[in-house]
Amino acid sequence: MKILGYIFSFLVFPGFLFSSIMGLLVGWVDRKVTARVQWRVGPPWYQNFVDVVKLLLYKETLIPAGVSAGTFFLMPVLAASSASLVSTIMLMVNAFPKSGFIGDVIVVVYLMIMPSLALMLGGFASANAYASLGASREMKLMLSYELPFILSLVVPIMKSGFAVKFGTIISHQHASGLTIASASGVISFFVMLLCVQAKAGFIPFDMAEAETEIISGPFIEYSGKALGIFKLAKAILTFIIPIFMITLYFGGINFKGWGFITSVLEYVLILVLMILIKNTNPRVRIDQAVRFFWGPLTAFSIIAVVLAYWGF
Amino acid sequence: MAQDIILYSVFVPIAAGIFCFFLPDRMKILAKTAAIFITLLSLAAAIYLFIKKPAYWPNEIRALFIVDNLSSFIGIGISVFALLVTVYSMGFQEKAFGRFFAYLLMTLGGALGAAYANHLVILIVFWGFLAVTLYLMVNMEATAAAAAAAKKALIIIAGTDALMILGVGIIWNLTETFLMDRIQLPLTSFYSFMAFITIAIASFAKAGAMPFHSWLPDVAEDGPTPVTAYLPASLDKLLGIYLLARASMSMFIMNDASNMILLVVGSATIVLAVIFALIQHDLKRLLGYHAVSQVGYMVLGIGTGTAIGMAGGLFHMINHAIYKSCLFLTSGVVEKRAGTTDLSRLGGLAKLMPITFTCFLVAALSISGIPPFNGFVSKWMVYQGIIESASAKNYLWVIWLVSAMFGSALTVASFMKLLHAVFLGRPSKDFTKVKDAGLFMAFTVVILASACIIFGVFAFVIPLPILIIPAVNRAIAYIGIWAPAVATLLITAGIIIGFLAYLFLRPQSFRTVPVFEGGEDNTEFARVSGVEFYNTIKEINPLGAIYAKEEAKSFDIYYIAKRLIYSFTRYLQKIHNGVLPSYLVWCLMGMVVMFLILFLVY
């Protein structure tokens, strides 16, 4: 019975189905805000659903000749599965902080790598030069943001008394102040915000897909169902990233009364920050991104760690 | 009974090895049968000893050999890898079966002897014996490159061996015993600290930790592939980390300074070696650098001084042996079938070698620390060890944690490059008729890849409670949560449903089309091999600085020592001019000096 409960929570709520719907809605918010920034009207709220349903049901799925079809089709599914697992874990630990569902913060950090990994392997498997190029950019980008990302992750861990369980991180913040309410917390929050910008593949760090240069990179050979599943994986990840940050910096999502409104506002704040960064910056080159993440951002995250040592 | 089995399991393989050595090449069936039979037997003996532990020889009071929780676990590991490499070699090896299996069996006996030894002198003897068998095995094919690699390995390992003899001398001086179970040295005095350092250096050289690592990539590139999978990838790791664990868990009472040395060595090894791996052009050499980098996690885990860190380090040791031998053996299949390990020539083999590709992928994901495979669990435990030591006032914990986690991201990067360059990407025209692994080779790599999955998914059911935690012999408290079985179940469910969706949501809409690259057929022109993936970030600091230093061989202790020695011997060389009269003059002058001394003293 317990297993069936797990499978239900993974597939339906709060896992795949729920997170996909939320992710597509978040995608609509993204498109709408972007449109407003650019003085356009923007699409209706159901536009993303229509797009995905079209891909999943109506468009044909093309297989590039001479590739390992198993790998080619496995990767979108793997990306969606691992993204759903991340969202299931994150929402479960926020709903029941004491339960300790499946994994801790280290596990989630590693599971969040998997969609990128699947994207890269999918790109590699499609035997297209543009896909290989894009996937190698994705890998280099991952290398670059991973260093400041880990360093900024250290601050919430330190602030919550060296805990890695989400339950402890949440309850410790409620007992002795939110991570964001400290100098080190603020610095590491902004560093992590830029890192997740790259993790989500948003401009200015979308050089892996770079439509105008390498024609969507790893996605170039994907079409139909496989592309639709990749899009869903991406939507789920975009939906869950702000929740990951709320858990680490704002003491998790509060489901009771007015607290829920605050949590939603925090969510919208993080999301809109990401969208605004996306809309006010041009795409950077990969070596510029690496220099940016290993240079100033790593320096800032080290400052945050040192401040956290001194208790600020 | 059990005590005799200890002796048999050490000396029977050595005797059988000597027997195989004298077998002529015509009788390769006999050599093969003997090798399989003896390795199976020694696995049975290792399991028997594991069940009957603790066992002593000749008796408990003055034991020369001890089989306890730690050494029986190492013994099983050694026997399993010997058996697997034997099976693999049946398919891989083409000639010289007698010699190959002779060395393999002698190594097996020597390794078991080193693992079970309780007397330091016996340990040194077997340790030295293993350095010799390593030399012989690497130099099997006697090419110039292999000979150079074998020489380098022998000099580094035997040199550190000599240091260990010095350390054992110090230990005897301080404790007046050679029995490892009696030694409990506090690291308070200078001499005991030196003794610890020498033993740690011996274990670093064996396992391949920096700065004693430089033999390993050379051996990996130029040595025979089964030998690389057998010694540097598995047995040397098991023994090196075994000695380090034995030294730091029981022989010495560790303090902050000694732990700090391990932490520094561990972190530096992880990050530097994987950075070197990133830009290699040869499949086996790249894997060799990873065999160095992964030692860092084991050393780091032991260096945390926490129970969970040590357990993580030991678990990583066995996990590393599994996935790294799997990686070497699968690349052996590629080498054998495609005839090259040059990354720029390979590519697109996944469709042609599905079994090899799948096993390689599983092992690559394991070494990259991707859940739910085995490498993730042990790395996760090491991270927890580091975080736990943070609350015990280990102020530099952030450095250790970040280098371990960032090192793992770099590992992912270099395996992405490998997967692209060897198995994925555009197939190269040269390898359109390559076949998959034969029966023996496929059997071995499938077993190893399954072990990666089983040790990962059922980590808390099979390997940890049975093998690792008894060996650490301390209570372990996890500070994190990881339920690999549930997570795997869910991801698998997702994958199955995804494939059902592919098949049953309007299944008629699949079509095969040629790859689209601007609408032209530029197949060979637009082939990306993957070797050049990281060239665009090579110049960026700190990578640029590290590569420049590596280019100047500043990390190669062998090269530095060679430079140092040549700087003395340059002057001595001048004396050797090959002219007979000048040698006679030297002799005459020497005699005159000797007579003068004799004359003046007496």
- CB-CB contact of A273 with A197 (8 Å): no
Residue B23: predicted pLDDT: 83
Confidence grade of residue B525 (pLDDT, cut at 50, 70, 90): low
Q: Mean pLDDT throughout B480-509? A: 84
Structural element, H or E, at residue A62: strand A61-64
- Quick check: B507 pLDDT over 70? no
Tell me the three state secondary structure of residue B510: strand
- Please write the tens of the pLDDT for every residue from B29-65: 888 888 889 999 999 999 998 888 888 878 888 888 8
Share the mean pLDDT of chain B.
Answer: 86
Q: Give the DSSP letter of residue A64.
A: E
Residue B521: predicted pLDDT: 67
pLDDT at residue B40, rounded to an integer: 92
Chain A residues 138-167 with CB within 8 Å of chain B: 139-140, 142-144, 146-147, 150-151, 154, 157-158, 161-165
Predicted confidence band at B179 (pLDDT cuts at 50, 70, 90)? confident
DSSP, collapsed to helix, strand or coil, labels residue B22 as coil
Question: To probe the interface with A, which of B402, B522, B538 has the most A CB atoms within 10 Å?
Answer: B402
DSSP B427: P
Q: Does residue A103 sit in helix, strand or coil?
A: strand
ipTM for the complex?
Answer: 0.92
Residue B298: its pLDDT value, please? 92
pLDDT higher than 80, residue B336: yes
Q: What is the mean pLDDT of residues B159-174?
A: 90
Average pLDDT over residues B412-428: 86
Residue B539 pLDDT class (50, 70, 90 cuts): confident
Q: Mark yes or no for CB contact A66/B383 under 8 Å.
A: no
Query: Mean pLDDT throughout A60-66?
Result: 83
Mean pLDDT of chain A: 87
Q: Average of pLDDT values for B362-384?
A: 90
Q: Which residue has the tokens 């994986």?
A: A233
Question: Which tokens sit at B592?
Answer: 């005159």
CB atoms B493 and A7 under 8 Å: yes
Q: What is the secondary structure of B41-82 as a DSSP string? A: HHHHHHHHHHHH-SEEES-STT-SEEE-HHHHHHHHHHHHHH
| Alpha helix ranges (H) inside B117-235 | 120-138, 144-175, 190-207, 215-222, 225-230
- In B459-586 the beta strands, taken as DSSP E runs, fall at 510-513
A168-190 pLDDT per residue, tens: 888 888 888 888 888 888 999 99
Between residues A107 and B344, which one has the greater pLDDT?
A: A107
Cβ count within 10 A of residue A173: 23
Q: A125 and B380: CB-CB below 8 Å? A: no
Report percent pLDDT > 90 for chain A. Answer: 22
pLDDT of residue B253: 87
Task: Please compute the mean of the pLDDT values over residues B296-322 and round it to a whole number.
Answer: 90
Tell me the mean pLDDT in the region A6-13: 82
Omega cis (within 30) before B224: no
Q: Are B91 and B21 in contact (CB under 8 A)?
A: no
Angle between helices A2-11 and A69-95 (to 10 degrees): 110
What gap in Å lies between CA B54 and CA B73, rounded to an integer?
12
CB < 8 Å from A in window 321-380 of B = 348, 350-351, 354, 357, 369-371, 376, 380
Q: How far is CA B28 from CA B91, B99, B104, in A?
A: 13, 10, 15
Q: Amino acid letter at B356?
A: T
Chain B 512-571, residues with CB within 8 Å of chain A CB atoms: 512-517, 526-528, 530, 533-534, 536-537, 540-542
Spell out which residues of chain A touch residue B436, defining contact as CB-CB under 8 Å: none
Q: pLDDT band for position B480 (50/70/90)?
A: confident
Size of interface A-B (CB pairs under 8 A): 247
Within 8 A by CB and 6+ apart from B420, the residues are A124, A132, A135, A136, B347, B528, B530, B533
pLDDT exceeds 70 at position B281:
yes
Instruction: Give residue-wise pLDDT tens across range B386-418.
Output: 888 877 666 788 889 999 999 999 999 889 888
CB neighbour list of residue A118: distance below 8 Å, 6 or more residues apart: A75, A76, A78, A79, A82, A233
Q: Is the minimum CB–CB distance between A53 and chain B shorter than 8 Å?
A: no
Q: How far apart are CA A19 and CA B255, in angstroms?
A: 49
**CB spacing of A157 vs B480 below 8 angstroms:** no
Residue B505 at interface with chain A, using a CB cutoff of 8 Å = yes
